[in-house]
Amino acid sequence: MKLNQYSDINEAFNITVTGKGSQPVVFAHGYGCDQNMWRFIYPYLEEKYKIILFDYIGAGNSDISLYSKEKYNSLQAYADDIISICEHLKLNDIIFVGHSVSAMIGMLASIKAPSLFSKMILIGPSPCYINKEHYIGGFEHASIDELLEALDSNYLGWSQNMAPVIMGNADRPQLGKELSNSFCNTDPEIAKNFAKVTFLSDNRADLKKVTVPSLILQCSQDIIAPMEVGEYVANTIEKGTLKVLKATGHCPNLSAPEETANAIIEFLETST
């Protein structure tokens, strides 16, 4: 079923629109999460911008009945959804903020519909998680296979064990607990499929196709997207700018929202 055939796109994606400005900022959440993960970031922007929040099909309070494993077998399918949401809301001159896998999803959306987007903020992006010749992705192929096998055999156990590792910031265990709860609230079959699409994708060749000025926000320590990856993304995107945060872990939107929001605002106010 095509998105424009949905009876209600707003309901399908649980779309939330807020903010006092006119230029839209579209926030896209990462794997196993939902729009609630932006609750500490968007208040910094809502005085000046229009804020768009949504849940991918199969996440949060989206209409899970619309999920299809056959359709969502690539990141491009999620990128097409973003384009449909933006067209439905009649948005233009869009600032896109994507966390983790959504950085690549947003990038693919901007390649397919460049006229919609004016700037991209990519938080913890990774075009390829697997180490290749002359490329450091952070994981050997065998490690990704083991991760996916563990996820397949015991999703809840994997979520409880991996979430704190992904989050980092062991001195604040409540952060890891929140991410674990988010993972556990996701339908396991959908989560498994999305994990395979996420961790086995290789979008390195797409980076050079991005024409939109892009800020790469890289945490100083990140087990999922290490420094080499952030540097690679920033160096490969034609108009890429790297900003290394003091924040650690893979979710600075939760662990260091003030630093993350200030970096976004600085980029929006100084980039052309």
Active site residue 222: yes
Distance between CA atoms of residues 41 and 188, nearest Å? 28
Residue among 100, 159, 201, 214 flagged as catalytic: 100
Distance between CA atoms of residues 253 and 251, nearest Å? 5
Residue among 55, 80, 81, 222 flagged as catalytic: 222
Contact (Cβ atoms closer than 8 angstroms) between residue 198 and residue 98? no
Active site residue 100: yes
Residue among 29, 81, 126, 250 flagged as catalytic: 250
Distance between CA atoms of residues 15 and 9, nearest Å? 8
Distance between CA atoms of residues 271 and 142, nearest Å? 40
Sheet of 50-53, strands arranged across: 16-18, 50-53, 24-28, 94-99, 117-123, 214-221, 240-248
Distance between CA atoms of residues 262 and 66, nearest Å? 36
Contact (Cβ atoms closer than 8 angstroms) between residue 143 and residue 137? no
Active site residue 99: no
- Give 208-253 as a DSSP string: GG--S-EEEEEEEE-SSS-HHHHHHHHHHSTTEEEEEEEEESS-HH
Distance between CA atoms of residues 44 and 229, nearest Å? 27
Instruction: Count other Cβ atoms within 10 Å, centred on residue 82.
Output: 28
Which residues have a catalytic role annotated? Answer: 100, 222, 250
